[in-house]
Amino acid sequence: MVFQKPNPFPMSIFENVVYPLRIDGVRQKGVLRDACEQALRGAALWDEVKDRLNQPALGLSGGQQQRLCIARAIVSDPEVLLLDEPCSALDPIATQRVEELIAEISERYSVLIVTHNMQQAARVSQYTAFMYLGNLVEYGPTQSIFQRPALPETEQYVTGRFG
């Protein structure tokens, strides 16, 4: 899971990424090093941090911290990746990078995104579920939900007339 606000641990970039593996008992330096690189590449962050893996993760920008948290989430090869408002605390450039990353990683993982940003939902998702007060109102292919919603409540929400 990747939270709305980036939450890097107060440790190095390297240790942030490999933390889930350490919890699982992995201790081999080569395995940790390779997994760190692969996860950072998968999170589109490797080229920016490869020369400073031992520096504090808290020194990264907000967008870099969010991508670091994504690297930490994918290092153990999950079946599902849950992103809770992953771009809400980011500037437009960092948002674009994270959205591009979501498109890339959705080829390898099932990605579930919670967002209130209708434009972002339309840009990055293949399927959309509209939920209200904990109840599923409508679910379907994103294009259908945004262009031809079956229910008036969904249409009101996606067009900004409700919510």
DSSP string of 21-79, one letter each residue: HHHTT---HHHHHHHHHHHHHHTT-HHHHTT-TTSBGGGS-HHHHHHHHHHHHHTT--S
Whole-number pLDDT of residue 162:
78
Residues 134 and 69 in one domain: no
Lowest mean pLDDT among 5-14, 48-57, 65-74, 100-109: 100-109
* Structural domain range at position 136: 126-163
The answer to whether position 3 is within a domain reads no
Residues 86 and 40 in one domain: yes
pTM summary value: 0.86
Distance, in Å, from the CA atom of 42 to the CA atom of 53, rounded to the nearest integer, reads 16
The answer to whether position 102 is within a domain reads yes
The answer to whether position 143 is within a domain reads yes
The answer to whether position 5 is within a domain reads no
The model's pLDDT over 79-133, given as tens digits with 9 standing for 90+, comes to: 999 999 988 888 888 888 889 888 988 988 899 999 988 999 999 999 999 999 9
Residues 6+ apart with CB under 8 A from 91: 62, 63
**Residue 14 confidence class, pLDDT cut points 50, 70, 90:** very high
Lowest mean pLDDT among 49-53, 100-104, 151-155: 100-104
Q: Count up the domains in the chain and report the number.
A: 2
The model's pLDDT over 28-46, given as tens digits with 9 standing for 90+, comes to: 999 999 999 999 999 999 9
Whole-number pLDDT of residue 163:
62
Residues 90 and 147 in one domain: no
